[in-house]
Structure 1
Amino acid sequence: MLYKAKKGQASYGEAIGILLLDISFVPFIPGDVANATTYHFPVRFKKVDGLTVEKIFNKDMSLLNRVIKAGKELVEEGVRAITGDCGFMILFQEEMARLLNVPVFLSSLLQLPFLIKIIGGGSKVGIITANSKILDNNLLREVGIYNTDSIYIKGLEDKENFRNGILRECGWLDSKKIEDEVVGIAKEMVEDEPKIKIILLECSSLPPYGQSVQEAVNLPVFDFITMINYVYSSLVKKRYEGIM
């Protein structure tokens, strides 16, 4: 087989590029979007300088050009699709998808229209988010959701361990205590709203707790990793072998 080099590309084989918030004091554990061992394939990370949790929570669009620049750099480095490590990066989705010549899927929330369709009318998707005050109707419209009747949202902004370890970046986190907080929220959701048939974890730090959530509420659980794996499977197809 003949292989051709791509001009300016120093390494190969990283199909998924991941844009990171400017976070220095959160330990990204296995299962987190920002931990490379989460994946069964290589990924390429790039931090967007200045794109802090505070700025994204304030829906600050002043860093759009930096996000675009980082995305273009990932494309130049060889990635074939670009995601992010915060569901609220949906703020930049439309412009990034328009300007880059690869698929862009910056937010776990992009799965919402699909999830609503597969559960049928009358059922709801329960969303566990880092901050329910930020996940408002304006953000939901960015993913094409104009009617929120099929959505039920609960946030972790008031949960001590999640708030300190993830949002306030205290420098450490107790994963077991955060797991208990996330599972507790999930249980509350399905008790408050029996129509919930699927759980979506918005935050990129929540996939490590997805299995525990599923065991607690016995529902399908979607998150950033289900989305990233899905897109990867479209970029790198496998050849099937077996018997008949």
Structure 2
Amino acid sequence: MAGRKKTFHGVSVGILMVKTGFRRLPGDVGHAGTWDFPVQYRVVEGATPDKMMALESSGLLDEFKAAALDLVAGGVDGIATTCGFLALYQRELTAACGVPVASSSLLQVPLAHRLIAPDKRVGILTFSRESLHASHLEAVGVAADTPVEGMPADSVFVTAIKSGDTVPRFEAMRAEVLQAAERLLGSHPDVGAIVSECANMTPFSADIAERFGIPVFDGVSLINWFQAGLRPRRYPQA
């Protein structure tokens, strides 16, 4: 929107963050060093990891709307998030914000499906298989029968995030995410691409793609694409 009054300038993407205390790794959506462009973060105070796992009954929609509108008022041109479960709020946030909203990496599932052979499917890796419901998928146009694999509740990946562990756990988390991808592909050999729901899995996307030889889409690929549309590159003319 040309001519908008802004408090901060030069930032196109505002990112809504879950209230966490764990050590985010480079490559995580919530790690500012991940980005080649500036982003503006806003923590939603009531959005704890446990509440995000029960988003349908959490009553957090108004808090997310308020945080998003605060970022828009400050000057961002689009809203993204650090949690794929916020797919559930895609319609409501786009209706409220007045700017484009990329609520969840799961928005990429229908696109990824069209990029691969017709006899292949897209599989989803998620923080919690039990908490990712058909309603989350439906909200962003994903088929209910899409293959899904989650992280074990007692994994280092899950317990570190839920407990707010401040020690970096790269190697342990990497091993667990690769094991989850292996389980997904072992159970569904027709999976030809993976979308990682969880923004904390993005540091390991390159490892998954290298190990299993299939494309991996995640929160970082979504926001890079999003930024490219909000702020298209200008090319010098001869």
Task: Please name the residue that 2:158 is paired with.
Answer: 163
Task: Please name the residue that 1:197 is paired with.
Answer: 192
RMSD: 1.8
* Residue identity in the other structure for 1:154: E
* Residue identity in the other structure for 1:158: A
Taking the aligned partners of 1:145 and 1:221, their CA distance within structure 2 comes to 16
* Structure-to-structure mapping, 1:25-40, within 5 angstroms: 25-40=21-36
Question: Cα deviations across residues 107-131 of structure 1 (Å, max 9, x unaligned)?
Answer: 1111111112222433111211000
Q: Which moved more, 1:233-242 or 1:64-73?
A: 233-242
Relative to the length of structure 1, the TM-score reads 0.90
Task: Please name the residue that 1:177 is paired with.
Answer: 172
* Alignment check: 8 A CA contact 1:33 1:205 kept: yes
- How far residue 236 of structure 1 moved from its aligned partner, in angstroms, is 1.2
* Residue identity in the other structure for 1:41: F
Does residue 68 in structure 1 map to residue 65 in structure 2? yes
Question: Which consecutive residues of structure 2, in runs of 5 or more, have no partner in the other structure?
Answer: none
Task: Please name the residue that 1:128 is paired with.
Answer: 125
Q: 1:231 aligns with which of 194, 207, 226?
A: 226
User: Which protein, 1 or 2, shows the higher relative CO under an 8 Å CA cutoff with sep ≥ 6?
Assistant: 2
Taking the aligned partners of 1:29 and 1:41, their CA distance within structure 2 comes to 18
Could you say if the C-alpha distance between residues 167 and 124 of structure 1 is closer, same or farther in structure 2, counting changes exceeding 3 Å?
farther
Secondary structure of 2:80's partner? strand
- How far residue 145 of structure 1 moved from its aligned partner, in angstroms, is 2.5
Taking the aligned partners of 1:170 and 1:164, their CA distance within structure 2 comes to 8
Relative to the length of structure 2, the TM-score reads 0.93
**Greater Rg, structure 1 or structure 2?**
1
Could you say if the C-alpha distance between residues 121 and 5 of structure 1 is closer, same or farther in structure 2, counting changes exceeding 3 Å?
closer
* Residue identity in the other structure for 2:22: V
* Residue identity in the other structure for 2:216: V
Question: Cα deviations across residues 74-122 of structure 1 (Å, max 9, x unaligned)?
Answer: 0011100001100001122111101111001111111111112222433
* Alignment check: 8 A CA contact 1:200 1:222 kept: yes
Q: Which moved more, 1:200-209 or 1:187-196?
A: 187-196
Q: 2:235 aligns with which of 232, 235, 240?
A: 240
Q: Which moved more, 1:11-20 or 1:132-141?
A: 132-141
Does residue 118 in structure 1 map to residue 96 in structure 2? no
Query: 4+ residue stretches of structure 1 with deviation over 4 A?
Result: none
Question: Which consecutive residues of structure 1, in runs of 5 or more, have no partner in the other structure?
Answer: none
Taking the aligned partners of 1:165 and 1:51, their CA distance within structure 2 comes to 17
Taking the aligned partners of 2:164 and 2:197, their CA distance within structure 1 comes to 18
* Alignment check: 8 A CA contact 2:12 2:230 kept: yes
Taking the aligned partners of 1:52 and 1:152, their CA distance within structure 2 comes to 27
Task: Please name the residue that 1:98 is paired with.
Answer: 95
* Residue identity in the other structure for 1:26: F
**How much identity, in percent, do the aligned residues show?**
30
Q: Which moved more, 1:70-79 or 1:133-142?
A: 133-142
Aligned length: 236
Question: Cα deviations across residues 28-47 of structure 1 (Å, max 9, x unaligned)?
Answer: 11111111110000000000
Taking the aligned partners of 2:184 and 2:87, their CA distance within structure 1 comes to 24
